[in-house]
A and B are shown apart, each in its own frame.
Chain A
């Protein structure tokens, strides 16, 4: 086993940064598809978090970490599919995927 000087906190930092980038993308991108991309980033950051905690704190004999990561990737894929389907129907209704314009409000 290669003993590395990279500890838990490094992984958590990376996943935190990734999550932050994802949040930034969700909140500030105009294109709905870009928002979905940000959501993907957030999901993966969470998955990274799970694996990091399994690696440094959890029981190494079960596969809790990778199993969770696998679950997350699966769910992310399904959710991306559904999200794209929703964006498609939104595009059909509003003729745009610009999130600022997708509302029925007056004034």
Chain B
């Protein structure tokens, strides 16, 4: 089994305060304060422009930081907070290839989505509140990306979770939205507990939070493999929750209750990517533990296939995209687990673009027509051409068709899995799972596209649809361009650096070149999926109904989301509550019992001793005389009176 050692030496550590880099998360934070203070009610029309301004400046700073990012090692800036023993609590920024790329992606996609939101959220009462929450989210997410120590990462992690809660439940008067927000928070909290325990473990055993320092110490072999395995798995718990991997994926489909731009930003491009980012950031832990890598890869591959199968049977546009996100995140985890660090991060960036695009086009449809059920749409290609074309671009990218962006990144992940298989045959199975999910991905996304845009309108509303305003369509076009070309472009040369992506972001030995037959295979598989969708939904030559009659369990399983939600509900309502009842019984009888018992004892003693107070003076006198006699006897016997 190969063993990666973190061979990334730290060459540049600047102790000063790097103001420019710091501004990236600070500007949206200032925007949050300004918007919440002044622009929530009457002046709310102005609110979005403050955020857009902040994000634009942050984007410019991020772009200027990219050429500066050191190829090996990292540029760091730290601000000490306090120190306890040898454990330093600090706030800091870390500029290395990973964070540089991620910053640009987050800033860029956020900016485009905020511009889109100006159109989408127009007229809503909570317009100002929306942008306030969005700016807080942006600040937290950028703080997470730029963080140089795991404690700051955790802090920002929780903060983005909070913003997710606030934004999912944005239309809080709707009970389903409130419930979905609660579910998201609770389920991710579940995973976050593992992450928190990992932070505790680090503070206790390593006495260090800083990523660069930890990487050096891991590279020097300071920690045992067992410790690193446990640590990695705990960190992965947090990633499972945040990135909606099985079994903690249940919150993401429900999170579609929030406004569509929220789904696009938080639940497609950035927050859910934070899990993948965390694993990439702490990859030096995982790389030292083969078991952790296998776990990551297995869960990733399983999730990818599992979610893709549910997506193929969903009728709600946003849910299809939600399950698609879960599935693609699974792909990224598979990539990381197969030691394809480059591939996973590459897929992270391309996914951010095309998934945000797909969500925004779905939002465009919802904005125009007001329904999310695909069976109520149809024929929108003629009425909403820009939306249809950009959606097609996104679909092609997602399905992984050459030469669009998704093709390059997905192909690299599958290649990593295949290459790893020579060292560990399990990866053949995971590779097959990946391939099958690629097929399903192409199928479900084109099913969605065909049902929405092709054919003829199925309802009146669809027949009277019109294209969205320019403030919404321009971001779509920009994202579509990125979705189409970013893959090819970045693979050949990352802008500002002139290097291929694989030489810019990597971990350990460099990734080997492409595998030609694999590229062909993945394209064929994707094309097969598209063909199936075309035949089934456009032509109708393959009957969906007879398929379901032949395999009824498939439909039942997919419709019931494979009973995972039901399983969690059983767990929560039966098992957890039974445990709570037992704990409550114990609490009532043992500690309370002891306290009550003491009180009972006092009462009994009082009851008995009360008899002494007879009220008869002679009795008291008798007691006095008796006592005197006793004392005299004692004195006689002991002191020799």
Contact = CB atoms under 8 A, between A and B. Distances in A.
Contacts of A67: none
A100 B625 contact: no
Contact of B617 (A23, A28, A99): A99
Interface in B280-302: none
Contact of A99 (B613, B616, B622): B616
Contacts of B618: 26-28, 35, 99-100
**Chain A CB within 10 A, most for which of B613, B615, B621, B622:** B615
Nearest to A105: B615
Interface in A60-106: 99-100, 102-103, 105
A98 to B, nearest CB: 11
A103 B625 contact: no
A100 B616 contact: yes
B615 A23 contact: no
Contacts of B621: 26-27
- Secondary structure class of chain B's binding surface, majority of residues: helix
**Chain A CB within 10 A, most for which of B618, B622, B625:** B618
Interface residues of A, number: 10
Nearest to B610: A107
Contacts of A99: 616-618
Contacts of A103: 615-617
Interface string B606-620: 000000010111100
Contacts of B615: 103, 105
Interface residues of B, number: 8
A105 B613 contact: yes
A11 to B, nearest CB: 20
Nearest to A106: B615
B613 A23 contact: no
A86 B618 CA distance: 17
Contacts of A35: 618
Contacts of A100: 616, 618
B616 A23 contact: no
A96 to B, nearest CB: 14
Contacts of A26: 618, 621
A72 B393 CA distance: 124
Nearest to A35: B618
A35 B621 CA distance: 11
Nearest to A30: B618
A99 B617 CA distance: 7
A100 B616 CA distance: 6
Contacts of A28: 618
Interface string B584-621: 00000000000000000000000000000101111001
Nearest to A100: B616
B32 to A, nearest CB: 71
B616 to A, nearest CB: 6
Interface string A15-38: 000000001001110000001000
A27 B621 CA distance: 7
B256 to A, nearest CB: 74
Contacts of B616: 99-100, 103
B622 A27 contact: yes
A103 B613 CA distance: 11
Interface in B190-245: none
A78 to B, nearest CB: 21
Contacts of A27: 618, 621-622, 625
A93 B19 CA distance: 94
Contacts of A102: 617
A33 to B, nearest CB: 14
A26 B618 CA distance: 7
A105 B616 CA distance: 10
A74 B333 CA distance: 109
A43 B239 CA distance: 95
B405 to A, nearest CB: 93
A39 to B, nearest CB: 10
A53 to B, nearest CB: 16
Contacts of B613: 105
Nearest to A104: B615
A99 B622 CA distance: 14
Contacts of B625: 23, 27
Nearest to A102: B617
A103 B622 CA distance: 17
B316 to A, nearest CB: 78
Interface in B607-641: 613, 615-618, 621-622, 625
Contacts of B617: 99, 102-103
Nearest to B625: A23
Interface string B163-180: 000000000000000000
A77 to B, nearest CB: 22
A103 to B, nearest CB: 4
B613 to A, nearest CB: 7
A53 B616 CA distance: 36
Nearest to B616: A100
A35 B625 CA distance: 15
B627 to A, nearest CB: 13
A27 B618 CA distance: 5
A100 B617 CA distance: 8
B165 to A, nearest CB: 63
8 contacts: A23-B625, A26-B618, A26-B621, A27-B622, A99-B616, A99-B617, A99-B618, A103-B615
Given A27-B622, A100-B616, A103-B615, 10 more contacts: A23-B625, A26-B618, A27-B618, A28-B618, A35-B618, A99-B616, A99-B618, A100-B618, A103-B617, A105-B613
Q: Which 8 A-B pairs have the closest CB atoms?
A: A103-B615, A105-B615, A27-B622, A27-B618, A100-B616, A99-B618, A27-B621, A99-B617
Interface of A: 23, 26-28, 35, 99-100, 102-103, 105
